[in-house]
């Protein structure tokens, strides 16, 4: 296992273990985060742990032209029940994601340090949020990283009202022109929307 120091560098992703864990330590500075995402690496750890850096193989992704929209979601998209915006409340979205209960997780991996780091990326137009509003209340959304390389790296989503996170995701994919949406790790939720696993080597070709 590679332990990171003060130098802004990462080992080759081929050195990650079977679970995809590549390195431990370092920080969440702007420079290190940018380098990580440029190399297909992301941080994921729980509060109280050292920073863990991952590059799983296979990688879970969505090709936008393979997006699946159910009949029930088509009805929701056509209805005027919700209002969908982008980059109107990034901090609100990430804090709601941090507070969402996750099956199999005792706490949250979106720590205060993580929130500060991604808000820093957002202030530099390197991270985006999608918000879903109902009666002027934030009820769903998601956020991720955009390094302007044609790929959006999704990080987390939340849903305070049924289907609101799906609405945010579908609206985002349909209204943007990314060649790939990185979903990182498999979830049934995103699989239902068309996300699939691909080899890490193939995934990395979309970054370069």
Model confidence pLDDT, tens digit, residues 137-155 = 999 999 999 999 999 999 9
pLDDT for the residue numbered 47: 86
Q: Do 124 and 150 share a domain, yes or no?
A: yes
Q: What is the CATH number of the domain that holds 13?
A: 3.30.70.3550
* Same domain assignment for residues 44 and 95: no
**Average pLDDT, stretch 8-36?**
97
Average pLDDT, the chain: 94
What's the CATH code of the domain at 92? 3.40.630.70
Do residues 134 and 49 share a domain?
A: no
User: Given a cut of 70, is residue 102 above it in pLDDT?
Assistant: no
The C-alpha atoms of residue 52 and residue 68 are separated, in whole angstroms, by 32
Residues sharing a CB contact under 8 Å with residue 126, sequence separation 6 or more, in sequence order: 34, 145, 146, 147
Q: Where are the alpha helices (DSSP H) in 18-143?
A: 30-38, 71-78, 90-99, 112-123
> How far is C-alpha 41 from the geometric centre of its chain's CA atoms?
12
Q: Give the range of the structural domain holding residue 39, as residue numbers without chain letter.
A: 2-58
User: What is the model's pLDDT at position 29?
Assistant: 97
Specify whether 74 is located in the same domain as 88. yes
Instruction: Say yes or no: 53 and 135 in one domain.
Output: no
87 φ, ψ (degrees, to nearest 5): 60, 30
Asked if residue 179 and residue 88 are part of one domain, the reply reads: yes
Instruction: Output the pTM of the full model.
Output: 0.93
Domain count, the chain: 2
Q: Do 145 and 82 lie in a common domain?
A: yes
- Whether 14 and 89 map to the same domain: the answer is no
pLDDT at 100: 79
Q: What is the pLDDT of residue 104?
A: 47
């Amino acid at each position: 296992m590679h332990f990171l120091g003060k130098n802004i560098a990462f080992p080759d992703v081929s050195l990650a273990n079977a679970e995809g864990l590549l390195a431990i330590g370092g920080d969440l500075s702007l420079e290190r985060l940018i380098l990580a995402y440029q190399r297909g690496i992301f941080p994921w750890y729980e509060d109280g742990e050292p920073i863990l850096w991952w590059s799983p193989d296979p990688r879970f992704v969505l090709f936008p032209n393979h997006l699946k929209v159910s009949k029930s979601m088509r009805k929701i998209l056509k209805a005027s029940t919700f209002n969908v915006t982008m980059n109107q409340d990034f901090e609100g979205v990430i804090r709601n994601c941090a507070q969402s209960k996750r099956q199999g997780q005792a706490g949250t991996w979106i720590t205060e340090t993580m929130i500060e780091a991604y808000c820093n990326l957002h202030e530099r137009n390197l991270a985006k949020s999608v918000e879903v509003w109902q009666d002027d209340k934030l009820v769903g959304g998601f956020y991720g990283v955009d390094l302007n390389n044609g790929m959006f790296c999704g990080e987390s989503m939340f849903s305070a009202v049924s289907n609101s996170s799906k609405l945010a995701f579908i609206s985002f994919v349909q209204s943007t022109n990314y060649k790939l949406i990185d979903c990182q790790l498999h979830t049934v939720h995103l699989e239902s929307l068309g996300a699939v696993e691909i080899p890490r080597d193939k995934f990395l070709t979309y970054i370069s």
